[in-house]
Amino acid sequence: MSTLTTAHHKTNPAEHPLTGNWKTLKIGGVTLGFPIVQAALSGYSDWPMRLLARRFGASYSLCEVMLDQFLVSLRDRQRNRHFLYNSADEQPVAGQLMGAEPEQFALGAQKLVEAGFAVIDINFGCPVRKVVGRCRGGYHLSQPDVALEIVRRTRDIVPSEVPVTLKMRRGMDDTSESRDNFYQILDGAFAYGISAITVHGRTVEQKYKGPSRWEFLREVKKHVGDRTILGSGDLFTAADCWRMIEQTGIDGVTVARGCIGNPWIFAQTRALAAGLPLPAPPTTHEQAEVLKEHWDLAEQLYGPERVGVMMRKFGIKYSASHPEYIAVRTDFAKIHHRAEWYAVLEKHYSEDRPGVYPPPEVHRVQGSTCADGCEEGA
Ligand SMILES: Cc1cc2nc3c(=O)[nH]c(=O)nc-3n(C[C@H](O)[C@H](O)[C@H](O)COP(=O)(O)O)c2cc1C
């Protein structure tokens, strides 16, 4: 493996590491190949976002997290159909699940399998206060016995050909007890037949403050040997993705905030892997094509009444690739209908101008929220 001297938070896109040292990524019996994938993102990683990520080069993607109770008692099927929607041309895609109680958790997993997800991912990472307060998500990192019971029951109920995976933060906090709990869950989960574990190098307590600790990922990979580990945290440029792989030796990375409104990051990682120079950021015309397509896909999924509000947050994130970021962001933030979306495109994107790489600071300020799929009875 080549050695790197750059610090991982150095994000000048012109500087990038050597990218030849990666292995084909596999999750159980599912071969993904390219080791750079799209993370689970509540409120974002819906079918349109996933489809675009895949088209631009992500080898795999994860759906936004869903609550087991929500899946088991799904009341308003039409209104909530978008949560479970997935299509053949985006496979393999994972459904992600969160909950408190092992039996119900396993039933929720069954619903995700029936909905056609190729992998079932268990969320032990969410730091949102109302989630942790209800003993879900990241809370499980403080109770290894319950966490492992969830893993065992989920693995038992999901058909053996469907891989079950896990997402963890590096602990509840920085105590040694928290660290011991992390390793107990990690080792126990692999012993129960989990196919891969994604580790976000922040603690639950830390939420999104401060950096993701990449040294911890290296330590985890060393600990597990041949088992599959994916990394998460502070992947804002194509170079960051390769740097994480090179510096930690992990098997793959999950791009999160860095790919919202920025599917081009996947094409950029592919170009670097092929030994090509980093592609220029998409021009405003190239961006406009994707903005139109994203709207069309979202309209198919949500319908003309709901699509506007859904697309605002994406428009805001896409605006980070535009040279007039603030003005474009302000206009996208007011969108209700298709005509307004197209008016923003007409105003800011009709002249073909060079784009910009989204500055990492734009992503860094965002924490996670919980979309409706995390709510009881949604
Ligand atoms: C808005 C938002 C929603 C998220 N939703 C989920 C989720 O549903 N499931 C999950 O496992 N992680 C979720 N995450 C965590 C990300 O997948 C990722 O681990 C985290 O953002 C760190 O990566 P980054 O620093 O590169 O963004 C979310 C993060 C954000 C910012």
pLDDT tens digits, residue range 155-191? 999 999 999 999 999 999 999 999 999 999 999 999 9
Tell me, in angstroms, the distance from the centre of ligand 1 to residue 44's CA.
10
| Residue 364 CB less than 6 A away from ligand 1 | no
- Reported confidence tier of residue 363, pLDDT bands at 50, 70, 90: confident
Helix (H, G, I), strand (E, B) or coil at 347: helix
Q: For residues 338 and 364, which has the higher predicted lDDT (pLDDT)?
A: 338
Mean pLDDT of 191-216: 96
Instruction: Please list, in sequence order, all residues whose beta carbon lies within 8 angstroms of the beta carbon of residue 22, skipping any fewer than 6 positions away.
Output: 35, 245, 273
For position 79, what pLDDT does the model report? 76
- Is 259 catalytic? The answer is no
CA-to-CA distance for 27 and 130, rounded, in angstroms? 31
For position 17, what pLDDT does the model report? 54
pLDDT of 314 > 60? The answer is yes
For position 377, what pLDDT does the model report? 44
Query: By alpha-carbon position, which residue is closest to atom 31 of ligand 1?
Result: 368
User: Which element (helix H / strand E) includes 254?
Assistant: strand 252-255
pLDDT of 208 > 80? The answer is yes
Calculated CA dihedral for residues 130, 136, 139, 140, nearest 10 degrees: 180
For position 123, what pLDDT does the model report? 96
Instruction: Please list, in sequence order, all residues whose beta carbon lies within 8 angstroms of the beta carbon of residue 277, skipping any fewer than 6 positions away.
Output: 271
Q: For residues 17 and 199, which has the higher predicted lDDT (pLDDT)?
A: 199
For position 19, what pLDDT does the model report? 62
For position 298, what pLDDT does the model report? 98
Average pLDDT value for the chain = 91
Query: By alpha-carbon position, which residue is closest to atom 27 of ligand 1?
Result: 257
Mean pLDDT of 334-354: 98
- Reported confidence tier of residue 362, pLDDT bands at 50, 70, 90: confident
Mean pLDDT of 110-117: 96
| Residue 234 CB less than 6 A away from ligand 1 | yes
pLDDT of 220 > 50? The answer is yes
CA-to-CA distance for 267 and 60, rounded, in angstroms? 14
Q: Give percent of the chain with pLDDT exceeding 90.
A: 82
| Residue 40 CB less than 6 A away from ligand 1 | yes
Mean pLDDT of 111-127: 95
Mean pLDDT of 295-306: 96
| Residue 170 CB less than 6 A away from ligand 1 | no
For position 336, what pLDDT does the model report? 96
Choosing from 63, 126, 241, 374, which is the catalytic residue? Answer: 126
End-to-end CA distance of the chain, in Å? 48
Tell me, in angstroms, the distance from the centre of ligand 1 to residue 364's CA.
11
| Residue 256 CB less than 6 A away from ligand 1 | yes
The CATH number of 25-278, from 3.20.20.70, 3.40.50.2300, 1.10.940.10, 1.10.150.650, is 3.20.20.70
Calculated CA dihedral for residues 287, 290, 294, 295, nearest 10 degrees: 70
CA neighbours within 13 Å on the CB side: how many for 157? 20
Query: By alpha-carbon position, which residue is closest to atom 29 of ligand 1?
Result: 368
pLDDT of 99 > 70? The answer is yes
- Reported confidence tier of residue 10, pLDDT bands at 50, 70, 90: very low
pLDDT of 85 > 60? The answer is yes
Helix (H, G, I), strand (E, B) or coil at 368: coil
pLDDT of 322 > 80? The answer is yes
pLDDT of 281 > 60? The answer is yes
Q: Strands 119-124 and 164-169, how do they pair?
A: parallel
For position 21, what pLDDT does the model report? 74
For position 6, what pLDDT does the model report? 30
